[in-house]
């Protein structure tokens, strides 16, 4: 059988497949990552009998470049949008902003925007707050 030439993954001399960026190794942490806490809370809420629905929302900005022009894509027009939104049976909207413990309150402008959004949800009759655990979420939602 004849040897095949190696596949060329390039377009006009530019590679189509980029080498992954290597990140510096992090020191091991005993605290769980925010994403792990969030997955745990969302899973708990998805199976809870008082929760009609719950979803993860993405907000923020992504930078991209096309034909040499830089652009930015905003994923939400709502400042401080919580990453976890849902509804309890009975029509009560809820918003949870998940943080790593210990969390004692807003430390920067982004977290202040998140606190304002949570306050707006509460002012409209919903339930909202910062949560670091399933227990925090239960207390905020009253379930």
Q: How much is the average pLDDT of 116-132? A: 97
pTM for this entry: 0.72
Q: Does residue 102 have a cis peptide bond before it, meaning omega lies within 30 degrees of 0? A: yes
Residue 136's contacts (CB-CB under 8 Å, 6 or more residues apart) are: 129, 130
Contacts 24+ apart (CB under 8 A), 133-140: 133/37, 133/41, 133/101, 134/40, 134/41, 134/44, 137/41, 137/44, 137/45, 137/96, 140/94, 140/96
More confident residue, 60 or 22: 60
pLDDT at 66: 83
Residue 103, pLDDT above cutoff 60: yes
d(CA 15, CA 107): 42
pLDDT digits (tens, 9 = 90+) for 4-53: 666 555 555 555 555 556 666 666 667 789 899 999 999 999 999 999 99
- pLDDT > 90: what percent of the chain? 53
DSSP 40: H
d(CA 78, CA 73): 14
pLDDT digits (tens, 9 = 90+) for 65-79: 888 888 888 777 788
């Amino acid at each position: 059988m004849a040897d095949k030439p190696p596949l060329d993954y390039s377009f006009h001399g530019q590679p189509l497949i980029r080498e992954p960026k290597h990140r510096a190794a992090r020191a091991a942490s005993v605290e769980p990552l925010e994403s792990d806490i969030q997955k745990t809370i969302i899973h708990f809420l998805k199976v809870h009998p008082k929760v009609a629905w719950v979803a993860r929302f993405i907000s923020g900005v992504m930078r991209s470049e096309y034909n040499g022009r830089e652009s930015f894509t905003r994923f939400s027009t709502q400042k401080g949008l919580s990453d976890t939104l849902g509804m309890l049976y009975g029509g009560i909207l809820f918003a949870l902003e998940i943080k790593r413990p210990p969390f004692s309150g807003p430390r920067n402008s982004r977290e202040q925007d998140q606190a304002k959004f949570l306050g707006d949800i509460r002012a409209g009759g919903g339930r909202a707050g910062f949560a670091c655990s399933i227990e925090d979420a239960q207390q905020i939602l009253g379930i």
